[in-house]
Amino acid sequence: MNEQQRKEMSQIKQRDAADRKSGQDKPLQEKTSSDFAKYFETTYEPPNLNKARKRGRDKVNVHYDFGIPEDIENIGVGKKFLIRTYGCQMNEHDTEVMAGILTELGYESTNNTEDADIILLNTCAIRENAENKVFGEIGHLKPLKLEKPDLILGVCGCMSQEESVVNRILKKHPQVDLIFGTHNIHRLPQLIKESFFGKAKVVEVWSKEGDIIENLPKVRKGKIKAWVNIMYGCDKFCTYCIVPMTRGKERSRRPEDIIQEVRHLAAQGYQEITLLGQNVNAYGKDFEDIAYGFGELMDDIHKVDIPRVRFTTSHPRDFDDHLIEVLAQGGNLLDHIHLPVQSGSSDVLKLMNRKYTREQYLELVAKIRKAIPNATLTTDIIVGFPNETDEQFEETMTLMAEVGFEAAYTYIYSPRDGTPAAKKTDNVPMDVKKQRLYRLNDLVNKQSKESMKRLENKVVKVLVEGESKKDPDVLAGYTEKNKLVNFKGPESSIGRIVEVHVTEAKTWSLNGIMVENTVEVN
């Protein structure tokens, strides 16, 4: 720390103390583990499904006035940050926002834990193994914190929204200095300030979702593809899922803000965007003043001059005819639809509260295929839901084949505290679940390989992302249907969409050679 910084810090401390004395500035929730129970009673409620279900349609305000308080503008100058991200695209994108905030504070990014002055673990709570990984990492970082007491070690993201996790960290992992959740990322500057100047741990977790903050800074991971949030939260309450508790109720961004962001990305040269939401098909349902849903949004984005538009995740229940009609226009709206089914058994779907049957799912697939004949479908599947029978699992296997999914993320059910499914007794032994997953994955691999085989000797359009991870002489990118292609071509094609002749199909990727005289596709 140089003299100037030391001086600034001392001024801030004095000002803070004066503000507190005069009662002008309410101290932040800065607590130690001993008074944490009291703190929880007053400002935090653990996930409570009944309450969450009843959560009202309180008005969501949109704020455009995010700014870094003057007194901490340069708090990160000469310092470095590192953020480790676990979980879904939503978390990846939140990390880009936190990186944006930290950069505005003057921090620079680093990949090396030893160089970092602040390390944030942006966590995921979806399954137990996701949580175990984070606890493992917290343990690994302990010696570093002991060596470097000034290091700020923070835990944020979905795990922080769980009371049991916060308690465990406070009890067993004193090396963690800062805990905040998914609803108060915009408070990162103030939280860092507290952590920096205060002696106690800083814990600030909001049990209730906040408003939408529009103008948060972002440092995006690349210059070719970008994430765009269209909504936050989830109101579906699938019985196995923690997300409605960790991410709060559904809140949609205003269409004009989304479209402006997409236009801006297009102007910056981005080639592909992915619209993000836990259940994008419910977009706009919370608007009271306009009748504007996901179909309308896609129709408007269709008109923006950006080559590729993807979206994730679609819930089958809200996938309506208008959306299918809009997607059928093609253009920049790609014909790859990720449509999680979770199970092929109507009985299990009912217990999961998915609100559709196997037959209804198949009807939806038929409708999509009729309107978009070349559509590629991929899915998510959970095996070993409590008391899932062999027959019910076989129904998942037959559905997998009947739909012809070209890829699937498959999981063994993991009980999450606070969800209804976790209270069920379960008569399916773990080795049976593992066996089922193994069989399902075999089928998924087979179907993926077949879909790749169909592309052999064909020409596909590839958005080139860079050199292949394994071989710098080979370039890598993705087709419109999101298939990985490794091919020989000039470096100048990075960031462009080029035509590649597929020479060989593998299970999860294609090999090829770039077609001469490729015309840029826009």
Minimum distance from residue 241 beta carbon to ligand SF4 (Å): 3
CB of 295 to ligand F3S, least distance (A): 24
The residue within the footprint of ligand SF4, chosen from 243, 368, 437, 502 (CB under 6 A), is: 243
279 binds ligand SF4 (CB under 6 A): yes
Site stretch for ligand SF4 (CB under 6 A), options 69-77, 89-97, 229-237, 449-457: 229-237
Distances (CA, A) of 276 to 211, 228, 258, 271, 282: 18, 6, 11, 16, 12
The DSSP symbol for 343 reads -
Q: Which does 327 bind (CB under 5 to 8 A by kind): ligand SF4, ligand SAH, ligand F3S, none?
A: none
Shortest spacing between CB 512 and ligand SAH, in angstroms? 31
Half-sphere exposure of 358 (CA within 13 A, CB side): 17
State the nearest-atom distance from the C-beta of 42 to ligand SAH, in Å.
30
Helices (H), 404-516: 430-453
Q: Choose among 286, 260, 184, 273: nearest CA to 223.
A: 273
Tokens 């249907």 correspond to: 481
With contacts defined by CB under 6 A, name the span among 47-55, 78-86, 208-216, 234-242 that binds ligand SF4: 234-242
C-beta closer to ligand F3S: residue 98 or 460 = 98
Output the CA angle 367-372-378, nearest 5 degrees: 80
Beta strands 509-514 and 497-505 are antiparallel
Closer residue to ligand F3S (CB): 47 or 295: 47
88 is in an annotated binding site: yes
Residue 29 C-beta-side C-alpha neighbours within 13 Å: 20
Site map 307..336 versus ligand SF4, x via CB under 6 A = --------x---------------------
- CB of 71 within 8 A of CB of 107? no
- Least separation in angstroms between residue 349's CB and ligand SF4 is 12
Out of ligand SAH, ligand SF4, ligand F3S, none, which partner does residue 382 contact, by CB within 5 to 8 A per kind? ligand SAH
156 is an annotated ligand-binding site residue? no
The least CB distance from residue 293 to ligand SAH, in Å, is 17
For residue 302, which of 336, 329, 275 has the smallest C-alpha distance?
Answer: 329
Residue 249 within binding range of ligand SF4, rule CB under 6 A:
no
CA-based radius of gyration for the chain: 24
Which of residues 242 and 462 has its CB atom nearest to ligand SF4 in the complex?
242
Which residues are near ligand F3S by CB under 6 A? Answer: 87-88, 90-91, 124-126, 157-158, 242-243, 246-247
Quick one: CA dihedral 401, 402, 403, 409, positive or negative? negative
Are residues 263 and 302 in contact, defined by beta-carbon separation less than 8 angstroms?
A: no
Going from the C-alpha of 339 to that of each of 29, 155, 356, 429, the distances in angstroms are 41, 31, 13, 28
Please state the residue numbers annotated as binding site.
88, 124, 158, 234, 238, 241
Binding interface with ligand SF4 (CB under 6 A): 234, 236-238, 241, 243-244, 278-279, 315
Q: Which positions make up the binding site for [4Fe-4S] cluster?
A: 88, 124, 158, 234, 238, 241
